[in-house]
Structure 1
């Protein structure tokens, strides 16, 4: 009640004073609409995409849980256990391969998926003809299994392909396509693939679906080939994370040393989730930057508005109105106008998020779950209000601070005046609340702390620079040039706007210059610095028996040089110093080390663009206990160094090696480097595929 009594009369005066309209506040509103709208749209879109991923989790994953092995399929005993004791299941085999026309003249990279008879367990595969009409006369399995003529299989395997495959190879339905050693007849076009978003890394190429019964005939399942075997299971009654953990624990207890990696429908697309988190963080910071830069515009708009209200303020003070009363009147006006601007910004944010959400979910084959999220809108509104008060309390407090006679004198001879101490205190509190809200709602507080510190430093820098400029202008005397003398005097006279102008221009130009410099330096890094050492071509999955022929073919081109080949294995980090990798991880931001299978290699020579920062590189003729070299990123993830033990699983076998050294790798060089590299003597007997890079003379590729 006491609060209502205090604001009731100021509220009446504020309402009456606002009848004059929004003159002078259009910039104020524009700043709020842009900043709040950006944050509201980003937060709503992010939340909507996450909701879409959760809603479609079972369709994306293709089951309630999925267990994956690399290189080799799971042992039959494990597969039988899943089917008999966990739930109905299907097998999906995935790899990347080159699809060719039968004459060998055209080829394209495809994401090859070999599926079982129950695929997909969830969702539906939409198959269309070249006109876009859904094929209803034949089932998916009928389209990819061998055709049957007169009760006998005629040896013709069918395939379903993405429309991009047809476009790149200039093919049509009914034409033939070759993958590995096997020919397939194209029977349909994939219009919707329910589990397409599950693995972003494999989704870089158009899809091709065949039967798992046809996969061995391609010859792509040789030991060492990078093939993923996914066992997707429906678990009756599973709903919550606790249910998921119960099932996972049951499987772990039965097969404690199994080489597979598990996923569940609640985290069906971890890489896509991580990508959404990163984009949300950076786009929110961009929106907040817009709001902070606009905050200077808010301050200038409030100051200009109050200058037009000086007669009103003087009149109220002459009639006995105390400073607090006048302060409440104009703070309420700022609040009402801020509410109007924030409401417009929230409306714009909802509209943009719905528009962008419809587009993105359609591209990702997700159900559009983007809607109005009160929490996201409240967060954007909180940023808007805190920014408004942070930048408007000072000019309001300054205007109500002076005496009535000074206010009338301000019309011809303005004088500098600071707000009351309590106004300064509330301004500081608003700034601190804005900083804490930014840090507290971020997915990466460490990064945002630097952002907040940078924002504070930037404001302080330009305010300090403005003070120096005004001080210098005050000390400069130009007796022979009256125009210049008057111009310099106006820079430091009482009531000058030099600080606001310098801050406004400085912040705006800082953002523009920062964006331009980042863009220029990134382009220069790609086109100049990287191009000097970066390979022209990368070749994947070169088989051991193809090495000599491949090298001979490359050497036959006079413009090709610097051929490099390294063995490549896929596996997982499973333990560090005897502790499970998930528990040994120090920071979840480094979970990329354990979230999926990683590439490993072995070499006797220190890889190019690597620098040993701890320990020593092993001799070229090293023969001894297993040693491993790790990157600084892996060392940081587990807080380990020279002498520590790391255990990896490759081809279902656990291998423990001692860390011999830590390397700083220049990943921007785009040359072959592995975060974890073994010394000779450990992996030579294991079947490997080879990665190869070739540099071709500029303009000769």
Structure 2
């Protein structure tokens, strides 16, 4: 009868409301045991909301400064040639036009040996149309660039003065002309528009370019015409202008950009980096989810008496589930709130730091959508890892609750809870995939994380099974350690899961970083040429070749004709309508270097098709790089249209070839048959490679000596020293590596939190064990030895798995995504093993020392 009355009591009231009331009453007792739970959720939510908010702040900053970054409302870029009279008249009819020419050149200090590669920028009187260029001396740009006493003025980055040991007022030679350094550049509004820079900026007047002799037919120079439109010009009007320009001048071959995509390269990099860091944050949440599951199991274990009482007075399993689900959600809400507060602060803190690295101002602010994303991720993670242990409590009878540990049963929860868990995990993964900028990388990352999670569970079970099946050993401490590994309620699954994911990620990132550095610093550096010489004119090519043969004795010298062209159509379909695989999308963006040859280039291997004969004179043919062709869905017989010097050239694909890009030799995506560009003005490219094994100071002195001789004899030829370029790339990689390691450390922190939580969850059982063993005569030393062996074994096995899984993940990324060679780095494995051992042994012994200090009497009274 009491059970019947109680059952009616539960059913008469609103079950959910009553469950909420009970949940809130129990929470009055405090948050004891849930601090790790809250910290895990807060850490992951803060990482995701903070990263996405910073990305949004940078994107907003780019958009708000789009006109200044681009230098106008619209920009029309041409390579090799200037706009003709009709094109210029059309642009002038739209608004104010400003012209900028950019190229690379060599700057030399007269009567000395000092010289440097510079990023040359020639500007007209209208520059800048938007923003403001500030000079360190505070003067006007037109005054600084003016010609006085027969010498043009120039302004430069401070780095150029330091590199050439110059002072304001000193002169430098540029091509065939001299310039006076009038001032240094403090702020250049459109600096991002230039892309990757290999030298410091040198800015001169547009009128001074002719005197330098650097601009010849086929010279690698980019002419950009910027438009300042009428105020309040809408984006729809800009889109209409873009379309009209394409229809009015279909053969112009210009690249058109607007203020809405002022820095597309930077935006893509921000999106990719944000995606990576978001996935890292999601991994931290998944690792933290293990802590959530541990906390829920320990909490329900401690509440077994309360749950038994509920059931004895008629409460259903569903009611019990709702009571503790409400408590878990309330606690998750606390962690989410903490994470959102931190995430909201991150953009303001990052704005100051990024201002020292990026030439744009991040628009720090409060971004509800990005914070909402962190909230959703945090809530889904808490549910995904809490539903399973909560569901297992549904059908446990009161007698089992009074006598046994809730978390030790092997039975699965009801199908409804298993289905709810599966759906929540699916939504979590689907959301991450849907929001990813690169779906392929996101899919691989999520799949790898899920696989690692499953394999870690299997590894934990294998360790427990192996420990159970090992023959008896004589050592009491070792026998006790093995028993602790496989006994019911053992810490093994929690330790292996928590540390395994975090260490796997760190090992993978460290191996990727190490292999990338090895490729750049040794493999590529050893294979790469010493120099690239650009803009060798046809008239001076024969003399230049003869000069190199004498000046670079013993070196391998390669030359190739070089033009720049932009892919406009594939099989008659405009390039802007094509949606290629992301791995090859770069080939359709901007201009590409192209060449022609009557034989297969070195560092290339024919994959399919045939090479044309030396005397071929039929329709234009082209050889396409196989990887890019696959991404663009091109094959033998397909047609490619490239705009070169304002003229469309359509060629049929005759063959596909693999290119050894890592050699940094003369390589091109497209190599045309020689008859394609008969009569077209162009320059030549040359490389010089010494392979006699010289290194260090001797190699450097030899290279610098050649550089000085070339720039003196051929002032209009641009020399790029490969070592300097690789040093810049290495510096960039180093900065990214530190940023990535910092982000990945969030996962390791989550792992440490989960490890600490797992040890705390097993605190009660450890106390009982220690007290009983001490009563049976075990000394503190022997107990510590047993625990030390247990934690060391778990840490070692986890490290072995992390090294294996991290190596596999890094190998896939390096070989399949980056296309580089992969080498296992033993130091990384040793580092992972040390980290795992220190964390597991350190936290384990810290908790054990407290346990061994417990007094036996209070514990024995409650057994």
Normalising by structure 1, what TM-score?
0.91
Q: For 1:510-565, what per-residue CA distance to the aligned partner results, in whole angstroms no more than 9, with x for missing partners?
A: 22332233233333333444344222333333333444454455445678522222
Is residue 370 from structure 1 mapped to residue 364 from structure 2 by the alignment? yes
Does structure 2 retain, via aligned residues, the 8 Å contact 1:197–1:364? no
Does structure 2 retain, via aligned residues, the 8 Å contact 1:630–1:661? yes
Q: Indicate the SS of the match to 2:28.
A: helix
Aligned to 1:569: 563
What count of residue pairs does the alignment treat as equivalent? 685
Is residue 140 from structure 1 mapped to residue 141 from structure 2 by the alignment? yes
Does structure 2 retain, via aligned residues, the 8 Å contact 1:92–1:116? yes
Does structure 2 retain, via aligned residues, the 8 Å contact 1:416–1:495? no
Aligned to 2:116: 108
The offset of 1:659, in angstroms, is 0.6
Change (3 A) 1:290 1:550: farther
Q: Distance in 2 between matches of 1:518 and 1:592?
A: 22
Does structure 2 retain, via aligned residues, the 8 Å contact 1:55–1:367? no
Instruction: Map 1:458-469 to 2 at 5 A.
Output: 458-469=452-463
Instruction: Map 1:448-467 to 2 at 5 A.
Output: 448-467=442-461
The offset of 1:482, in angstroms, is 6.4
Q: Which segment drifts farther, 211-220 or 551-560?
A: 551-560
Q: Which segment drifts farther, 676-685 or 263-272?
A: 676-685
Which of 153, 162, 177 is the equivalent residue of 1:167? 162
Q: Distance in 1 between matches of 2:473 and 2:200?
A: 76
Which of 57, 60, 65 is the equivalent residue of 1:56? 65
Is residue 180 from structure 1 mapped to residue 175 from structure 2 by the alignment? yes
Which of 191, 205, 208 is the equivalent residue of 2:199? 205
Q: For 1:108-155, what per-residue CA distance to the aligned partner results, in whole angstroms no more than 9, with x for missing partners?
A: 2222111111111111111122xxxx33xxx321221223xxxxxx32
Q: Which segment drifts farther, 54-63 or 334-343?
A: 334-343
Which of 37, 45, 67 is the equivalent residue of 2:46? 37
Q: Which runs of 5+ in 1 are unaligned?
A: 148-153
Change (3 A) 1:204 1:412: closer
Q: Indicate the SS of the match to 1:681.
A: helix
Does structure 1 retain, via aligned residues, the 8 Å contact 2:251–2:643? no
Aligned to 1:537: 531
The offset of 1:279, in angstroms, is 1.2
Does structure 1 retain, via aligned residues, the 8 Å contact 2:49–2:340? yes
Q: Indicate the SS of the match to 2:147.
A: coil
Q: For 1:182-224, what per-residue CA distance to the aligned partner results, in whole angstroms no more than 9, with x for missing partners?
A: 11112222111111112313x4432222111111111111111
The offset of 1:361, in angstroms, is 4.4
Change (3 A) 1:24 1:563: farther
Q: Indicate the SS of the match to 1:368.
A: coil
Is residue 349 from structure 1 mapped to residue 350 from structure 2 by the alignment? no
Change (3 A) 1:546 1:391: farther
Does structure 2 retain, via aligned residues, the 8 Å contact 1:68–1:261? yes
Q: Which segment drifts farther, 530-539 or 408-417?
A: 408-417
Does structure 1 retain, via aligned residues, the 8 Å contact 2:193–2:262? yes
Normalising by structure 2, what TM-score?
0.75
Change (3 A) 1:561 1:305: farther
Change (3 A) 1:481 1:657: same
Q: Indicate the SS of the match to 1:213.
A: helix
Instruction: Map 1:295-374 to 2 at 5 A.
Output: 295-361=289-355, 363-374=357-368
Q: For 1:482-534, what per-residue CA distance to the aligned partner results, in whole angstroms no more than 9, with x for missing partners?
A: 66555545444443443333323332332233223323333333344434422
Aligned to 1:618: 612
Q: Distance in 2 between matches of 1:38 and 1:560?
A: 55
Aligned to 1:150: none
Aligned to 1:446: 440
Is residue 387 from structure 1 mapped to residue 381 from structure 2 by the alignment? yes
Q: Distance in 2 between matches of 1:3 and 1:613?
A: 77
Aligned to 2:251: 257
Aligned to 2:94: 86
Q: Indicate the SS of the match to 1:402.
A: coil
Change (3 A) 1:627 1:558: closer
Q: Distance in 2 between matches of 1:579 and 1:338?
A: 52
Q: Which runs of 5+ in 2 are unaligned?
A: 1-10, 700-863
Q: Distance in 2 between matches of 1:680 and 1:219?
A: 28
Aligned to 1:516: 510
The offset of 1:76, in angstroms, is 1.9
Instruction: Compare the two structures and name the one with the higher helix fraction.
Output: 2
Does structure 2 retain, via aligned residues, the 8 Å contact 1:57–1:266? yes
Instruction: Map 1:146-165 to 2 at 5 A.
Output: 146-147=147-148, 154-165=149-160
Q: Distance in 1 between matches of 2:413 and 2:72?
A: 63
The offset of 1:571, in angstroms, is 1.3
Change (3 A) 1:412 1:249: closer
Q: Indicate the SS of the match to 1:20.
A: coil
Aligned to 2:79: 70
Aligned to 1:594: 588
Change (3 A) 1:464 1:77: same
Q: Which segment drifts farther, 319-328 or 181-190?
A: 319-328
The offset of 1:612, in angstroms, is 2.0
Q: Distance in 2 between matches of 1:684 and 1:292?
A: 61
Does structure 2 retain, via aligned residues, the 8 Å contact 1:199–1:271? no
Q: Distance in 2 between matches of 1:347 and 1:412?
A: 35
Does structure 1 retain, via aligned residues, the 8 Å contact 2:117–2:198? no
Q: Distance in 2 between matches of 1:184 and 1:541?
A: 21
Instruction: Map 1:364-513 to 2 at 5 A.
Output: 364-411=358-405, 414-478=408-472, 487-513=481-507
Change (3 A) 1:266 1:299: same
Change (3 A) 1:438 1:414: closer
Q: Which segment drifts farther, 255-264 or 557-566?
A: 557-566
The offset of 1:599, in angstroms, is 0.4
Q: Indicate the SS of the match to 2:182.
A: strand
Does structure 1 retain, via aligned residues, the 8 Å contact 2:351–2:361? no
Instruction: Map 1:630-645 to 2 at 5 A.
Output: 630-645=624-639
Q: Distance in 2 between matches of 1:614 and 1:36?
A: 50
Q: For 1:379-436, what per-residue CA distance to the aligned partner results, in whole angstroms no more than 9, with x for missing partners?
A: 1111111111111222222245422221121259944343232222211111011011
Aligned to 1:14: 23
Q: Which segment drifts farther, 500-509 or 98-107?
A: 500-509
Q: For 1:451-508, what per-residue CA distance to the aligned partner results, in whole angstroms no more than 9, with x for missing partners?
A: 2222222222222333334344444442866665555454444434433333233323
Q: Distance in 2 between matches of 1:5 and 1:547?
A: 90
Instruction: Map 1:278-289 to 2 at 5 A.
Output: 278-289=272-283
Change (3 A) 1:416 1:632: same
Q: Distance in 2 between matches of 1:490 and 1:629?
A: 65
Moved over 6 A (4+): none
Q: Indicate the SS of the match to 1:591.
A: helix
Q: Indicate the SS of the match to 2:527.
A: coil
Q: Indicate the SS of the match to 1:39.
A: helix
Is residue 46 from structure 1 mapped to residue 55 from structure 2 by the alignment? yes
Change (3 A) 1:465 1:677: same
The offset of 1:582, in angstroms, is 2.0
Aligned to 1:124: 132
The offset of 1:363, in angstroms, is 4.1
Q: Distance in 2 between matches of 1:46 and 1:413?
A: 42
The offset of 1:45, in angstroms, is 1.2
